[in-house]
Structure 1
Amino acid sequence: MYASVPAESLQLGTVSRVGSLREQVSAALRAALIAGQLRPGIVYSAPTIGEMLGVSATPVREAILDLVREGLVEVQRNKGFRVTDLSEEQLDEFAQVRLMLEVPTMGLVASLARDSAVAANLEGLRPGAEGIVRAAAASDLVRFIELDTEFHAHFLSLAGNSEVVRIVRDLRNRSRLYGLEAVARAGILGRNAEEHSEMIDLALSGDRENLEALVARHIGHVRNLWAGVADKS
C-alpha cells in the first residue's frame, strides 16, 4: 500500500505559459525530486499536481511519461504515479558503472590537456565549479544538481566519446536524487563541491594518476553520502 498526498503538503510553484508545458512540468517535477519534495512510497495524482502548477492534468501526464522512460517514477494504475525507490544494490551498481567509465575517461582528458583547445575548455569549466560551491553553501539542491551534472558532462566530453557522456548523464539523473537533501542538512555537501576545482587543476597539469584517484574518491564519496555513512569530520 502507498500513501496518497494532500496538495497542501507540496510547494511546486507555477509554470510559464510560454514554451512547451510538457517540458516545463517535467523540469518542475525533476526539481521537486531533487529537492526531496516528491518521495518514494507516496502516490501523487496528475490532477493534483496540475492544479498546483496551474495547468491541466494533460501536460502532467505527458511529463510523467518522460520521467517513466528515465526510470525516475512509476505509474500506479488508476491512481497516479510514485517516485521509483532504488535498492542499495542498484545504487552500488550505478556507482560501479560510473567508476568504470568516468575514472579512465577523465584521466584521458588529463593526457590531452597539452592541447591548447582542451586546456581552454578545462579553464572554461571554472565558473561552473565555483557555482557548484556556491550552490552547496546555499543548500540549493536543484542548482547544485544542474551545475554538477553539466560540469561532469562537459569534462567527460573533452575525451571525445559522446556515448560515455550519454550513459553517465542517465546514471546521474537516476541516482543523484537519493539522499542529497539529508547530505545538505548535515553540512557535508561543500566538501564534495570543492573537489571540482581540484579536478580542473590536476587535468591542466597533466597529472592523470592523481586525477583518476580523485575522481574515484569523488564517486566513492557520493555513494557513501547516499548511504548516510560519510565521514563528517
Structure 2
Amino acid sequence: MPGSGAVTRNTLRRQIADALRDEVLAARLPPGTEFTVKQIAETYEVSATPVREALVDLSAQGLLESVQHRGFRVRTYSVEDYRGMIEARALVVDGIFRRLVERGMAVGSGERLVSVRRRAEEARRAAQSGSLEVLIGYDLRFWRELSGLVGNTYISEFLHRIRVQCWVFSVPHLQRATAAEIRRALWDGHGELVDAVTRADAEEARRIVHAYDQHGLDWAAGL
C-alpha cells in the first residue's frame, strides 16, 4: 500500500517516544542520563530514523535536551523551574474554569464527566496508597480529560506537557522519600474538583486548584 512505510515509521516513532517518556516519568532514566540514538535503537531493536524522530519529539516537549556530538540527555529541572511550571498552569487553568462557567462546556461534556470522575477516584486511591507510578498515569489522564472539556486541543496539549514536566521534576525527589512522606506530598483532591466542575461552581473550582498549586509549592519549598 502506498505510504505504508511512512505509517509504520510514524507508529514506531510514537511507540518509542511513549516508552521513553514512561521511563523518564518513572525515573528509570533519571535526570542527567545521557544516551545516543544508536543505544536506543539497539535497545528497542529498531532502525535509527524513528528513534531520532522520537528523541526530537521528546526534546520539543522539554523532557530531553540535545548534547552536541554526544546525543541526548534527560533534562534536569530546578525548584525554580517547577515554580514557573505551576504559575503557567495556574494561569491557564483559571481561564479554563472561567470559560466553563461563562460559555458552558463543549458538546458531550456531560458524558465525558463520567470518565473524568472515574479517573479522579482512581487517582485519589493511588495518592492515598502512595502508589507513585500508578498515580502518575491516572493523574495525567484525569487532567487531560478535564482540560479537554473546554473543547480546545491546544489548551489541553499545553497543560499536558507542563504536567509531564512537573512529574519529571517531582519523581526523583519523591522516590527518595519515605512512604509516609510520599503520601503527604501527593495531592488527592481530584474528586472534589470534579464535583465543583459538575456544579459549574467556578469559584470553588478555583479555590481547589489554588490549594493544589499551593500544596505543590509548599512541598517544593521543603526540598
Contact 2:30–2:172 (CA under 8 A) maintained in structure 1: no
- Does the C-alpha gap of structure 1 residues 178 and 191 become closer, same or farther in structure 2, counting only changes over 3 Å? closer
Name which of 173, 180, 198 aligns with 2:192. 198
Query: Which residue does 1:82 correspond to in 2?
Result: 73
Q: Residue 132 of structure 1 aligns to a residue in which SS?
A: helix
Q: Residue 188 of structure 2 aligns to a residue in which SS?
A: helix
1:98-113 correspondence runs (5 A): 98-106=89-97, 108-109=99-100
Name which of 203, 208, 223 aligns with 2:202. 208
Name which of 222, 226, 230 aligns with 2:216. 222
Name which of 153, 163, 166 aligns with 2:157. 166
- Does the C-alpha gap of structure 1 residues 113 and 98 become closer, same or farther in structure 2, counting only changes over 3 Å? same
Instruction: Give the superposed CA RMSD.
Output: 3.2
Which structure has more helix as a fraction of its residues?
Answer: 2
Query: Which residue does 2:26 correspond to in 1?
Result: 35
Q: CA deviation at 1:117?
A: 5.0
Identify the range of structure 1 (86-95 vs 194-203) with the bigger mean alpha-carbon deviation.
86-95
Q: CA deviation at 1:132?
A: 1.9
Which sections of structure 2, spanning at least 5 residues, go unmatched? 1-7
Name which of 32, 46, 55 aligns with 2:37. 46
- Does the C-alpha gap of structure 1 residues 39 and 210 become closer, same or farther in structure 2, counting only changes over 3 Å? same
Note the alpha carbon deviations across 1:25-73, whole angstroms, 9 max, x for none: 1111101110011122232223223333333444322211111122211
Q: CA deviation at 1:171?
A: 1.7
Q: Residue 124 of structure 1 aligns to a residue in which SS?
A: helix
Query: Which residue does 1:180 correspond to in 2?
Result: 171
Name which of 140, 148, 152 aligns with 1:157. 148
Q: Residue 194 of structure 1 aligns to a residue in which SS?
A: coil
Query: Which residue does 2:88 correspond to in 1?
Result: 97
Which sections of structure 1, spanning at least 5 residues, go unmatched? 1-16
- Does the C-alpha gap of structure 1 residues 134 and 54 become closer, same or farther in structure 2, counting only changes over 3 Å? farther
Name which of 22, 25, 30 aligns with 2:13. 22
Note the alpha carbon deviations across 1:163-213, whole angstroms, 9 max, x for none: 322321222233321122433654435774521111111222333222211
In the alignment, does 2:62 pair up with 1:67? no
Identify the range of structure 1 (27-36 vs 180-189) with the bigger mean alpha-carbon deviation.
180-189
TM-score, with structure 2 as normaliser: 0.78
Contact 1:45–1:80 (CA under 8 A) maintained in structure 2: yes
Q: Residue 75 of structure 1 aligns to a residue in which SS?
A: strand
Contact 2:105–2:149 (CA under 8 A) maintained in structure 1: no
TM-score, with structure 1 as normaliser: 0.75
Q: How many residues align?
A: 212
- Does the C-alpha gap of structure 1 residues 122 and 179 become closer, same or farther in structure 2, counting only changes over 3 Å? same
Percent identity between matched residues is: 27
